[in-house]
Amino acid sequence: MSWKPLVRLTELAEERLINAILDGEFPIDSNLPAERTLAVRLGITRPTLREALQRMARDGWVEIRHGKPTRVRNYRQEGNLAVLAAIARRGQYLSSDFVTNLLAVRLLLAPTYTRLAVERHPVEMLKYFNGYTQTADAPQAFTDTDWQLHRQLTIASENPVFTLILNGFKELYQEMGLRYFQLPEARAHSRCFYQSLLDCTQSGDYDRIEAITRRVMVESLDFWRKLASFSESSVQE
């Protein structure tokens, strides 16, 4: 027997409401329909709707006002990491600069968690780096390797916030990684990065590890911008 997880009506209602907000059916600062009307539209009971709205209010999608209609909040300014992760899972709603902004955040975080990981767990990280340098020259292999690398680095940094942030973008990371690593120069660039991490860890040069990681993240961001620009040009043609 194939066991599939049941989708709760609360989760389904939340999913549909978030999609409606992102679609613009319920714009920022607008009011949602009356509870009774909205429950009928979604095909759920009012208690189920209330539970879904409570979850959405917790994450910053809506503001529940007693005695007044529920307001759609400015989730870009008032939302939390759950909002960011929800948008990242919905590729059709990503703005053209979303991935660029995400990589810019990685540029700020990666040098720190990489240094912390190597300082605190040098022997363990040496094992990982040595394996990463042997990655097969294929987009899927590099996508998987790069994800595993950054995840292991965040875990070894012993700061769980880094890992939680990264985990929120797993699906998007896989999608954009396959595009990014289609470029042979991107694969070569990352292979050099893995080798540099291995060499610096062996020598205990932690300052250089941080500097190299920062430089490579900048260069990766430039690669992505060029790739995005090329894709846009191809579509226009």
Strand pairing partners for 31? Answer: 71
pLDDT of residue 236: 45
Q: Which amino acid is at 38?
A: L
Q: What angle do CA 117, 119, 123 make, to 5 degrees?
A: 80
Query: For the chain, how big is the Rg over CA atoms in Å?
Result: 22
For residue range 49-106, list pLDDT tens digits in order: 999 999 999 999 999 998 899 999 999 999 998 898 888 888 788 777 888 888 999 9
For residue range 151-177, list pLDDT tens digits in order: 999 999 999 999 999 998 888 888 889
Q: Hey, what domains does the chain have and what are their CATH numbers?
A: 9-80 (1.10.10.10), 94-236 (1.20.120.530)
pTM flag (> 0.75):
yes
